[in-house]
Structure 1
């Protein structure tokens, strides 16, 4: 695909802001495309010095150019880490936080990238840096470089219906890993995964924790039921999930954010406002809940008051 085939808002900042205006969108995080959803492209580079230079160049561009000037407070910086070294990753988180970025990409399943899982203490330096700098870890579906498939000849609709699986796997991992027990202020956002599946995972994990802790290998890992680690810690995102919103009380309305997925093909742009209103009606959200979904939870999760967004 060439630039001529793309909508200019995919790569041109002024066009991006205009498309946001047309879609009633005040502010948005910009996820990486060329580096892939958590910087896998730079991780796969054999030259580690070059890989680190690329990560830092991307991050400097994100903070100093893409999210600066007319875009400040509208395009919220989302930076990358050198995935191959947790100490370097921690240093890059601190460097970017000093420059004004407090959101970073991470993989929904590092093990699929042939990296240690979050069930080890390998990533603790990174998690400590995120906690110290009030930086949110963002886990986008596909950031494990995998997507669900049933068969090679299945229509793409099958994969689109199952894309939530990456987020659901990450959700189960984070609630059972003990990371949220060790790092009390760490926040994680699951991007583009929807939420309708969350109540079942919460119910199932709590059942295992309470009734079969040894069988589930949870004995001693957690001091309380897995579901109790969600509040103020793990955030889900919806762009078209009325069913999930009807189950919001089993998740916590304060943990759900609205997204548009612009400029992907699965985006609700330029009709996101109508989609939002339809979900609010179908799920029976009151005015306070609608506010939390549209703005309040994102402001709280990403501390958007840093950029002048306070209400």
Structure 2
């Protein structure tokens, strides 16, 4: 069957594990994430900015996947990555950090500022410079609003087109729906920067529990995997209900790896709340919340069978495919099989919208998929 070429609104890159430690002065480097393995190799203790927690190391298939020797070469090599993408039929892609996923666990503003700048400078030189097919997300410190604005403006000046944001800021910072962040939204709109939220990035007090673990006991693995998708929904809801997107009509929001079928449901629920409880609603909005959600929020999925139906039957057109390269829950190694199954009964217009159209609305600077799909590593 003909290859279905797609763009991906969700992927990840593995930075050097010692990136922050090597580029920061010792007093700051010692606060960045580091781990110490137990003598038996079964557990490790992780230290982050004065916090420590102990966790069991992965075993069997998970450990094998995490070994560098078993990862696709492109996970650490931006040039080799192009070959991986070409074989999978993925053209442009949004790239989220890996080290940066620790950002919401920091507590010291100076350390966080320094780490974010190091990451951004490194990503520009080692990923973005390799190919215009890469949309690398800038990282900003969210412990302090002014720090976030400063780094956002620096990133925009250096060519970034998207900013990676945790679904909830640091626990000590105001939440996204609070007025404190208004100057940040203004700066993002002025810079034409896409707000890229990735699920699973709510802050965690590491002294109380391991990152990503909410439930223990029967069903825990499925419960935790499902739970971390809700953060993206909450982030979108906050930006809509508080009037952020109503005031900033040119802001576009990407919720990556959280599926797509939740968007129409959430729109209905918010509209009902706005309408039925209008006497208590503040602020009043110029547009109804469902319209704002469906027009300014974009959502990516990888395996969800409901995503195509959401586009066709529920009126939500800002659906994007994301391969989640190279994570275990992603499609690497079977992207074409997945796409063929997802789009088996879809119209050509639907396929094009989900694989390319919505992506290019967000990132028109990415070169178009070449007419001849023989072109590789372009």
Flag the 1:190–1:148 CA change in 2: closer, same or farther, 3 A: farther
Is the CA contact (8 Å cut-off) linking 1:176 and 1:218 kept in structure 2?
no
Where does residue 247 of structure 1 map in the other structure?
A: 310
Where does residue 287 of structure 2 map in the other structure?
A: 224
Using CA pairs below 8 Å that are at least 6 residues apart, which structure has the higher relative contact order?
A: 2
Flag the 1:171–1:152 CA change in 2: closer, same or farther, 3 A: farther
CA-atom RMSD, angstroms? 2.3
1:238 aligns with 2:301: yes
Is the CA contact (8 Å cut-off) linking 1:103 and 1:138 kept in structure 2?
yes
Q: How does 1:119-130 map to 2 (within 5 A)?
A: 119-130=177-188
Is the CA contact (8 Å cut-off) linking 2:93 and 2:135 kept in structure 1?
yes
Flag the 1:2–1:138 CA change in 2: closer, same or farther, 3 A: same
TM-score w.r.t. structure 1 length? 0.87
1:87 aligns with 2:146: yes
Aligned partner of residue 77 in structure 1, secondary structure: strand
Question: Which one has the largest radius of gyration?
Answer: 2
Is the CA contact (8 Å cut-off) linking 2:214 and 2:224 kept in structure 1?
yes
Offset of residue 279 of structure 1? 1.4
1:97 aligns with 2:162: no
Where does residue 44 of structure 2 map in the other structure?
A: none
Distance 2:125 2:188 in 1: 20
Flag the 1:88–1:149 CA change in 2: closer, same or farther, 3 A: closer
Distance 1:261 1:157 in 2: 18
Where does residue 16 of structure 2 map in the other structure?
A: none
- Greater fraction strand: 2
Q: How does 1:183-222 map to 2 (within 5 A)?
A: 183-214=248-279, 217-222=280-285
- Greater fraction helix: 1
Of residues 330, 335, 351 in structure 2, which corresponds to 1:267? Answer: 330
Name stretches of at least 5 consecutive residues in structure 1 with no aligned partner. Answer: none
Offset of residue 100 of structure 1? 1.1
Of residues 136, 141, 145 in structure 2, which corresponds to 1:77? Answer: 136
Of residues 20, 23, 40 in structure 1, which corresponds to 2:104? Answer: 40
Offset of residue 236 of structure 1? 0.7
Is the CA contact (8 Å cut-off) linking 1:237 and 1:259 kept in structure 2?
yes
Name stretches of at least 5 consecutive residues in structure 2 with no aligned partner. Answer: 1-65, 205-211, 371-378
Where does residue 74 of structure 2 map in the other structure?
A: 9
Flag the 1:299–1:56 CA change in 2: closer, same or farther, 3 A: same
Distance 2:239 2:213 in 1: 20
Flag the 1:189–1:34 CA change in 2: closer, same or farther, 3 A: same
Count of residue correspondences: 298
Q: Give the 4+ runs in structure 1 shifted more than 6 A.
A: none
TM-score w.r.t. structure 2 length? 0.72
Where does residue 276 of structure 1 map in the other structure?
A: 339
